[in-house]
Structures are given as C-alpha cells and as structure tokens.
Amino acid sequence: MIVETNAFNGFDNARKFSCHAGVAPFEHTSGSSVKSKNKVSHKANKSIKSLLHMAALAAGTIKKTGDLREYYLRKVAEDKNKMSVLNAIRGKLILRMFAVIREGRMYEDEYKLKLCPA
C-alpha cells in the first residue's frame, strides 16, 4: 500500500484511494432514473483489490474475535450479501490505514472513548 499510494502522498483521502482500488460503490444513473444497484468499478487496480480482499477475509471471516468479525456476522445475519459485506470491510480497512497515517500514531485495536465529566 505504501508503494501504491506513494507513501500515502499520492491520494488526498481514503475515498479517492477506495475508488482507485475498486472498493467504492457507485450507482448507475441516467438523469433522474436509477438503472441498477450500486456497483464497483471494473477499471480498478486488481492487485490492490485482491490484497485488500485477502485482508478483509482474514479480518472478517477467519479471525475468531474482533470488531470486523462482529460486523461481518451481524450483516450476514441481516441477510446482506457476503461479498457486499466483505467489500464494506475492505473500505473500513482503507479508512483505518489512512487514519493511522493522518494521525501519525500506531493503530489501537480497542479505542477507548474518554468521556468528559458533565
């Protein structure tokens, strides 16, 4: 990812990289009519997309615990398409990568909110 993003300098934000990697869904419209369901672009960088897919599989289906695993199980229980859920996990992984770079600190698996006293 570092090479593909030019050390995260080649893309302004995670959404642009998601489009490049073929993770961001777009609806097909013409005027005011919607032609089909949301779909991802087929002009994506296939090598990046496959790496993200393997990471999403590991995080969402193979791991026994974790928030992405819970997310995957919850969405599948809601009768969502498994591939759509994996695509959402790919997007979440991209967002997390860019957040870590933007904040300049290590990834915290269990981020605890500090509540302000009332």
pTM: 0.75
C-alpha Rg value of the chain to the nearest Å: 16
Structure tokens at 34: 């919607």
Count Cβ atoms below 10 Å from residue 87 Cβ, excluding itself.
22
pLDDT surpasses 80 at 30: no
Domain range list for the chain: 14-28+35-103
Residue 77 has a pLDDT of: 93
List the structure tokens of 31.
């005027």
What are residue 40's phi and psi, to 5 degrees?
A: -90, 160
**For residue 25, what are the β-bridge partners?**
40
CA distance 72 to 87: 10
Q: Which residue has tokens 């969402």?
A: 60
Write down the pLDDT at residue 76.
Answer: 92
